[in-house]
Structure 1
Amino acid sequence: MRKHVLWLVLASFWACAPGSYHLTNRTAARIGVDSVTAATDSSVANFLKPYRQGLEKTMNEVLATSTGSIEKGLPDAPLNDLLTDALLKQATQRYGKPIDCAHLNYGGIRDNLPKGDITTGSVFEVMPFDNQLVVLTLTGDMLQQFLNHFASGHGLVMSGIRVKIHDKQVQAVTFNNGRTLQPNETYTLALSDYIANGGDSADFLQNAVKRENINYLIRDALIDYFRQLGKAGQPITPTSDGRIRIE
């Protein structure tokens, strides 16, 4: 049973002239609201019933299964790798061209994924925000700045690259697609609009070479990815490949 508390505040005012009021008295009363004191309005409950049933059906859809719980962590963890790999794959499909790497802000990953059934509701718990997927084109210098920025304290969560971090600075970058990080070359990065807009103090990203909005919620990208795994009969085995290493 859930119980909520409301505070009712009553104030009395005295006016001595038009538009002039002075507080003369104030009283407060504590009112408990729970399933005992607040009876269910059957008309409202009946009105909401089909919507509630539809929502429960959607949230309880099993997308995929996992052989173990999938947890986040730093500097690297199974959930970090799984979500960014999913994001990179889905972003590439939606973008229609190869993307060099993908990023998720560590603080935006709000929960772990359970062992067993992974439902739509599970994904909502992990990613409750309506963040859009954005593709930025960055110079090598700016991508290096980006990596150093998140390695220095925000948590670096990436797909498409492997890095070594020393003294909170990225010392080595290896791309999965065989590219090397060169200061004057350009690279594509899939990430949330929150970070692209300067979130987590990444204001410098507003000077990106190019920004492309691909009209795809990050949460929807994850749901699509897990659904594809489920339809293919591919269970998830939680693993971390050590792509982010601190030395």
Structure 2
Amino acid sequence: MIRIFLSLFLAISLLGCKNSQPTLTQIEGHQLPITDSIQANQDILDYVAPYRKRIDKEMGAVLAYAPLSLSKKDGPYNTAIGNMMADAVFELSNPVFNKRTGKNIDAVLLNHGGIRSTLNAGDVTMRSAFDIMPFENSIVVVEITSNQANEMFAYLKSGTAHPISNMQLVLNENDELKTATINGKPVEHGKTYFIATNDYLQQGGDRMTFLSEPKSMEVLDYKIRNVLVDYFKEQDTIAPVRDNRFIKE
């Protein structure tokens, strides 16, 4: 009995000596607006001035010329600027992928929301590439099954002008898929396809879950913005068009 009493006394004592843990009960925050009323610090302005001058010079470097402005709102199903981006990714990333793997990219799929700015008519500069693609998204090539390829087409038939290259979708008057091809051919059961996309979509972004569990994946370490810069440098005139890669009859 005494042993039981001593054990209980020791346990109660230990509990009583234990430090109480603080508990978070409330969080308060205050908005600090940044307005013209805030005085500029001239010392900081003087310090960054030479860096700003250099960056402005690099960003203003003319890479090509665009006779017309291009917007992702130019039409349904496919747009000239989206076609340009997808074709640029296909053209410039396939040699990298082929050199590493000995295989070729079958098609490209990007996302409509990833186009963040209009390409304005006139000089196309380094800043133009940063405006269109300000994010750090990189190209990955995923190997997907024929079932996943069919899921991709089922997703795309909603009509959003997601940039695509080397694939075609044709909808009938009831918005049903009439034809869907990769490399000019219907999806072949049991075959796998190499789709170039960006890392955001590969992780299931924009609900493109059919890209999130590929049979294999190759990270190209090639940012889409850098693709645009390289593409602009190679072109004299940037004049893509809307075409029949995604249409409704």
Q: TM-score, normalised by structure 1?
A: 0.79
More strand as a share of residues: 1
Q: 1:204 to 1:43 in 2, by over 3 A?
A: same
The 5 A counterparts of 1:39-188 are 39-72=39-72, 73-96=75-98, 97-152=103-158, 154-166=160-172, 167-175=174-182, 177-188=183-194
Partner of residue 220, structure 1: 226
Unmatched 5+ stretches in structure 1:
1-18
Distance in 2 between the 1:92 and 1:215 partners? 13
Distance in 2 between the 1:110 and 1:152 partners? 21
* Structure 2 letter corresponding to 1:200: D
Distance in 2 between the 1:169 and 1:91 partners? 32
Query: Would you say the 8 A contact 1:84–1:103 is kept in 2?
Result: yes
SS at match of 2:87: helix
Identity %: 30
How many residues end up aligned between the 2 structures?
A: 218
Distance in 2 between the 1:243 and 1:153 partners? 12
SS at match of 2:157: helix
Query: Would you say the 8 A contact 2:143–2:215 is kept in 1?
Result: yes
Q: Shift of the alpha carbon at 1:56?
A: 0.7
Q: 1:132 to 1:111 in 2, by over 3 A?
A: same
Partner of residue 196, structure 2: 190
Distance in 2 between the 1:32 and 1:164 partners? 50
Distance in 2 between the 1:132 and 1:29 partners? 34
Q: Shift of the alpha carbon at 1:153?
A: 5.8
Between 1:153-162 and 1:130-139, the stretch displaced more is 153-162
Alpha-carbon RMSD across the aligned residues, in angstroms, is 2.7
SS at match of 1:76: coil
Match among 240, 243, 248 for residue 241 of structure 1: 243
CA-to-aligned-CA distance 1:29-77 (integer Å, 9 cap, x gap) = 998841xx44332211111112211211121111111111122242111
Distance in 2 between the 1:75 and 1:111 partners? 18
More helix as a share of residues: 2
Distance in 2 between the 1:211 and 1:179 partners? 23
Decide which structure has the larger Cα Rg and report it: 2
Query: Would you say the 8 A contact 1:132–1:193 is kept in 2?
Result: yes
